[in-house]
Chain A
Amino acid sequence: LAKTTQPISMDSYEGQEVNITCSHNNIATNDYITWYQQFPSQGPRFIIQGYKTKVTNEVASLFIPADRKSSTLSLPRVSLSDTAVYYCLETDRGSTLGRLYFGRGTQLTVWP
């Protein structure tokens, strides 16, 4: 039961910045937003996680506004190798369950 909504697909060109928006209107107080990346024929890979405001790492940035009802994954200067499916998930900070709910994700295709 995916709790988030994101676009099914996006296209971009090499060198551009890509922003993928995720909606999570009913996010709980304890929930973080976590993004995974999946390349064809591989398992998903964690890329970034945040609770509010902005988080940046070597791969991406994550922007979460004050109301936390949405978030935006930003990939700077994408390359062909960034072509993948990107999943936005709500993850419970205090949960002992450890379960992840994956929706359909966003298929990002980067063109030359």
Chain B
Amino acid sequence: GAGVSQTPSNKVTEKGKYVELRCDPISGHTALYWYRQSLGQGPEFLIYFQGTGAADDSGLPNDRFFAVRPEGSVSTLKIQRTERGDSAVYLCASSLLPFGTFNTEAFFGQGTRLTVV
């Protein structure tokens, strides 16, 4: 596609429910990142995929958070037993080559605004 696409753009859920957030990276991009942004803060790293595997998941806050990228393209961020503190904008980014390759640039989606009530 023309850019990184995230769905849904907004999600309101009740505390304790399960949610899935989807990211469609730019076609051909091998690297995919998830970030979380709270109001007034910069984006906070959650997890990084290189291809199908999670190269670094050290930013996931706890075991309620999980992400997959089974075919090396679309990724889904899954949150179990949601809490009000999970409310934030979840951003996805993709890159043509692994971060660290010369002149690699990250492209971000519009984000999914998650509100847990």
Q: Do A and B bind each other?
A: no
Question: Chain B: residues with CB nearer than 8 A to chain A?
Answer: none
Question: Chain A: residues with CB nearer than 8 A to chain B?
Answer: none
